[in-house]
Amino acid sequence: MNEEFDVLDSGPVFDIKAFLFKALSYWKLFIICVGIGVFIVYQQNIRKQQSYRLSTKISIEDDKNPLFTSNTNLTFNYGGVSGKVQTVMNTLQSRSLHEQVVDSLQFYINYLKQSRFRKDDIYKAAPFRFNPSFDDYQILNTPIKVTFKNQETFTLEFDFKGLAVSAQNYDDYSVKNFDVTQGVFSREYKVGALIDLPYLNGTLNVVEDRNIKPGDTYFLQFQSFDAVVASYRFRLSVSNPRNSAILLLSMVDNNTKKIEDYLNKTVEVLTKEQLDRKNQFVTNTINFIDSQINRVKSDMEDNSDQLNDYRSKNGIFDLGQESIAITQKISTLELERDNLYDKKDYYNRLKNYLLTSTSFTELPAPSTAGIDETNILNNISKINSLSVQKAKYEETVKSNTTIFKDLNQQINGLKSVLLENISAALNGLDRELKRVNSKIGVAKGEFKKMPKDQQFLMDIQRQYLLNEKTYTMFLSKRGEADIIKAATVSDILLIDPAKNTGAQPIDLKLSSRYMFAIFGGILPPLLLAFLVTFFDTRIHNPQNLESLSSIPLLGVVGKNTLDNNLVVHRKPKSSVAEAFRAIRSSLQYMYKQHDLDSTKTVMVTSSVSGEGKTFCSINIATVFALSGKKTVLVGLDLRKPKIFGDFEIQNDIGAVNYLIGQKNLDEVTQQTKVQNLEVITSGPIPPNPSELLISEKMHELMQLLKEKYDYIILDTPPIGLVADAIELVQYADASLYVVRQDYTKKEMLNLINDKHKKGEVKNISLLYNGFNQKGKYGYGYGYGYGYGYGNYANGYHENETKKVSVLKRILSFFNPLK
């Protein structure tokens, strides 16, 4: 097609009305798309297992043991409640906690029941439980079909898709591959009997008070332990409303009972872990005290045996009052000295521990060594608490984060302070030891004045009394530690345990899903209508044409329903014939305005072939002839001649023969069956049509025609394809540019608009052809010319047969006024 059509922009504007009617014309597509969407949603609904959300609520308390004193304060809460909340939240997201919960509940075993479209997780609704052997391997990710023959016998069935399967040991979590035979493998077992297969080991037991019907079928499936832990760790949601001491734990799953058990077990494991962490000092202290008690008890037994042996051998059973007083004095001073040595030993061990260790979570409480220095007690508790917090963060937080830098700085600061406190305390202990050793030396001087046998007996008895007092002291401290541990409560308070009290599915409601389906079904046809309208460049109605060109619209012609172009002749009362009569009146009015009383010439052209140029030429000529005017229709489309067929005449001789000088006017003129209408066909196709139309012979032909006829109708080539029609404009008193509905493209008007604007074409009008009241978008414009009046035109036009839709037929059948 001529590229000249694209030179000028016709400036099309998106037609909202056209878009709406175009969308309405797709009503069948709307029904199909909506139906498909509803069907898809329905299939999804019946196949999807609903999800539910349950939650539990806990509070982080700041409980301190009411029995704590300055000497028994074995724990210290560093950071208050806010620090605990953050620690608990990190603990809840830790892998180790979820491993404990999954392992405790055995959630790596799934109990399934086949429904219509899927295998549903029935959990505790299953009438049996499988107890795996933890030293052996269990097959992974393969549904094991369990079919009960009766209450005591069942069949296991495996459907192996390949030649190997993976299995996991749930003791050390190792995974191993086993070779299998592809296909179905089944074996019968007794309830409670050991199942001993390479890839499945354990016993299957029926739940008490559960009846099983013969033929009942269930499925058993093992999952990777790490995968299950990761899944529940990801699904557990922990929120801290308003940054308070309250934590809300929630989880989503298809089985509400599973959510209940998992959340409650999580809180149980968390509570125990927090209590163990809170009692860590106490536990370390008890272990230390127990080791000391065992040592002192062994020394006491040796002293007792030695004392009894000496008494029996030497016959000395009692000491005098002076000896007893000296012995008790030395024993008290030695006990004091031993306590000082214990403190000094504790400080030295503590100093060495601080200098060599990177973790400070295993220190016994200072009170076990009789240390009551407030700064040392507090700093040891702080550094222990920070170390525990750091160890917990390492399970959930990456090691390169800022939080570890801050914790390490705090720990190093406390360690420096502790080392200074320890140095000062050691210096003070050395001074105390000198003083006590001096007193012991004086007392032993008095002791040496005693008889030798009494000295030896007093020495053994004094050692025994010293060990006895030490033993009593450790027993006392052991009792204190037990009381503290028993009185300590967890900082985790369960406010509201997880429970299903009528949980509603959190998935989209069925009605909402269908609404989305309807919307999704409507969207594609709407999008299609938008794209078709947006990219549609054709002219679909007269109003559209008027907005694209300043050239006046002379008339609108309806769609031809006959088998040839002689509509006016064959159907003179039809609406199409009336339209051509209206065009005739418009042309006559135009001629009067230009004072044309002689022969009138009408040139009919168009943009391209197929727009109805020949159809309009024939019928315009016919209406002039029927008015009693002598009319001639000249076929000047020398490249594609058409008009001869409708009149049932030959095209052997025509205008070409005259233009090349072979024939005269009478020889090329042919009569038609229409009164007063003669036709000059184009004749044989010449090699030089353009040259013939601009020759002197063409001018001569037009002069002869004007002398002989009242009206001359020129059927010319398309002006958008060849230049021939432009050459013929000079002979025309009026030019008609034919535009066909749903065929002519908008950009095709650019050429004629440009030539009209430049003044190259004058006295030109547009002729809208093929008009359909419904148009491509199903709406009309009421242009008259026999159109747009509906039933009001009854009796004026011939009745034309129209197809009646099935819907209208049905409505008319039920219409009582038809």
More confident position, 567 or 457: 567
pLDDT at 484: 67
pLDDT at 213 over 50: yes
Specify the pLDDT at position 539: 83
Does the pLDDT value for residue 65 go beyond 60?
no
Assigned domain for 85 exists: no
Nearest to 182 by CA among 156, 155, 157, 159: 159
**Predicted local distance difference test score (pLDDT) of residue 17:** 78
Q: Is residue 127 part of a domain?
A: no
Query: 550 with 531, same domain?
Result: no
pLDDT tens-digit series, residues 731-776: 888 999 999 988 888 888 888 888 888 888 888 899 999 887 655 5
What is the span of the domain harbouring residue 298? Answer: 280-487
At 11, the pLDDT band (50, 70, 90 cuts) reads very low
Do 469 and 321 sit in the same domain of this protein?
Answer: yes
Cβ-count burial of 382 within 10 angstroms (0-12 exposed, 13-18 middle, 19+ buried)?
buried
pLDDT of residue 505 exceeding 70, the answer is yes
Same domain, 471 and 597: no
Task: Write down the residue that tokens 């997201």 correspond to.
Answer: 93
Tokens of 24: 């309405």
Q: Over pLDDT 90: what percentage of the chain?
A: 24
- % residues pLDDT > 70 (the chain): 77
Residue at 223 is within a domain = no
154-175 residue pLDDT tens: 999 999 988 999 999 999 999 9
pLDDT beyond 70 at 809: no
Residues 357, 475, single domain; the answer is: yes
Residue 197: predicted pLDDT: 92
* Confidence category of residue 562, pLDDT binned at 50, 70, 90: confident
The strand pair at 153-160 and 144-148 is best described as antiparallel
Q: What is the pLDDT of residues 187-202, one digit of tens each?
A: 999 999 999 999 999 9
Which pLDDT value is given to residue 780?
44
Per-residue model confidence (pLDDT) at position 72: 43
Position 211 pLDDT exceeds 60: yes
E strands within 474-599?
A: 492-496, 553-558
Do 468 and 522 lie in one domain? The reply is no
pLDDT (mean) for 378-398: 68
The mean pLDDT of 211-226, rounded to a whole number, is 92
Assign 563 to helix, strand or coil.
coil
- Give the range with max mean pLDDT: 133-137, 357-361, 755-759, 793-797: 133-137
- Give 3-state DSSP helix, strand, coil % of the chain, rounded to 5: 50, 15, 35
Are 525 and 568 in the same domain? no
Instruction: Give a yes or no: residue 677 inside a domain.
Output: yes
Q: Are residues 632 and 778 in the same domain?
A: yes
Residue 236 lies in a domain: no
pLDDT of 782 reads: 43
- If you average pLDDT over each of 70-74, 156-160, 405-409, 570-574, which comes out highest? 156-160
Residue 444 lies in a domain: yes
Q: What is the CATH number of the domain that holds 786?
A: 3.40.50.300
Integer CA distances (angstroms), 568 to 497, 622, 627, 664, in order: 91, 7, 12, 30
pLDDT confidence of residue 778: 44
- Of 222-236, 315-329, 397-411, the one with minimum mean pLDDT is 315-329
Using pLDDT thresholds of 50, 70 and 90, give the confidence band for residue 473. Answer: confident
Least-confidence region, from 8-12, 429-433, 480-484, 563-567 = 8-12
* CA 111/CA 573 separation, integer angstroms: 84
Would you say residue 725 has pLDDT above 60? yes
475 neighbors 44 (Cβ within 8 angstroms):
no
Residues 477 and 516 in one domain: no
pLDDT at 46: 75
In a domain, 454, yes or no: yes
Among 43-57, 229-243, 386-400, the range with the most confident prediction by mean pLDDT is 229-243
Of residues 494 and 791, more confidence is placed in 494
Mean pLDDT within 413-418: 81
Residue 515 shares a structural domain with residue 569: no
Task: Report the amino acid identity of residue 753.
Answer: N
pLDDT classification of 76: cutoffs 50, 70, 90: very low
Q: What size, in residues, is the chain?
A: 818
* pLDDT at residue number 326: 65
Specify whether the CB–CB gap between 572 and 622 falls below 8 A.
no
Mean pLDDT of the chain: 79
Whether residue 294 sits in one domain with residue 415: yes
How high is the pLDDT of residue 387? Answer: 74
554 shares its domain with 579: yes
* Distances, alpha carbon 470 to alpha carbons 130, 254, 290, 335, 569, in Å: 55, 62, 13, 8, 138
Lowest mean pLDDT among 47-56, 116-125, 483-492: 483-492
304 token code pair: 């007792």
| Higher per-residue confidence, 185 vs 10 | 185
Report if residue 193 sits inside a domain: no
DSSP summary character for residue 71: T
CA dihedral 645, 646, 650, 653 (to 10 degrees): -100
pTM of the model: 0.53
- How many domains in the chain? 3
Give the model confidence (pLDDT) of 583-600 as tens digits: 998 888 888 777 667 888
* Residue 303 pLDDT level (bands cut at 50, 70, 90): low
Residue 399: pLDDT band with limits 50, 70, 90:
low
Q: Convert the pLDDT of each residue in 658-715 to its tens digit.
A: 999 998 999 999 998 889 999 999 989 888 888 888 889 999 999 999 999 999 999 9
With a cut of 80, say whether residue 623 has pLDDT above it: yes
Q: Which of 8-22, 53-67, 407-421 has the lowest mean pLDDT?
A: 8-22
Provide CB contacts within 8 A for 697, sequence distance 6+: 658, 659, 660, 661
Q: Is residue 450 scored above 70 in pLDDT?
A: no
More confident of the two residues 433 and 622:
622
Pairing of strands 175-179, 183-190: unpaired
Is there a single domain that holds both residue 695 and residue 736?
yes
Q: Would you state the structure tokens that stand for residue 182, as one six-digit string?
A: 């592809």
Side-by-side strand order, sheet with 237-239: 237-239, 246-253, 52-60, 492-496
Question: Using CA atoms, how far apart are residues 579 and 576, in angstroms rounded to an integer?
Answer: 5
Element (H, E) at 679: strand 677-680
Residues 6+ apart with CB under 8 A from 723: 690
> Hey, which residues does 169 pair with through a beta bridge?
137
